[in-house]
Amino acid sequence: MAKKASKSRKSSSASASAENPTTGKIALKIKSTGKKMKKVMKQSRPNSGNKSKTTPKKKAAKIDAKKPKKPPTAFFYFLEDFRKEFQEKNPDVKSMRDIGKACGEKWKTMTYEEKVQYYDIATEKRADFDKSIAAYNKKKESGEDQESEDSAFDE
């Protein structure tokens, strides 16, 4: 016990919401970065011209059995939950592209306490993911090119 200052990334992501001292006054100390995060991601179409047998979503989607894929972020977890409700409320909506927009919009309106729930999940996921990375790194260190390419796609 006595594990107060966890330091490091684990730093209790849910502590903010868990701590609800005083009356309903929540000390929401969201560090206002102030800087506008402009997304300058060049979303070109790298897939243009890349044909894979399976359906490689969009870009790369490299099939690295050794490299653990990125776990869904808190936003994605929220999406799963939001998606269900959204479909019920908006049966007319066909695709999730619209949902994604709605989610993103609502996500920003959500308070830290609400988001923290999903953040907590993502945090746990990352913990597991961290192990995968460690194993991956370790394995890589042990035998970098040791993969035998099991079955080189033979259809």
Binding site for DNA (CB under 7 A): 9, 39-48, 51-62, 69-76, 79-80, 83, 94-97, 100-101, 103-105, 107-108, 115, 119, 122, 126, 129, 133
Pair 113, 30: CB distance under 8 Å: no
Please report how close the Cβ of residue 132 comes to DNA at its closest, in angstroms: 8
Alpha carbons within 13 angstroms on the beta-carbon side of residue 61 total 12
Looking at the Cβ atoms of 22 and 32, the one nearer to DNA is 32
Please report how close the Cβ of residue 52 comes to DNA at its closest, in angstroms: 4
- CA pair distance 78, 98, nearest whole angstrom: 15
Looking at the Cβ atoms of 3 and 57, the one nearer to DNA is 57
- CA pair distance 122, 117, nearest whole angstrom: 9
Looking at the Cβ atoms of 149 and 155, the one nearer to DNA is 155
The two three-digit tokens of residue 70, written as one number: 């990125």
Please report how close the Cβ of residue 81 comes to DNA at its closest, in angstroms: 11
150: phi then psi, degrees, rounded to nearest 5: -60, 130
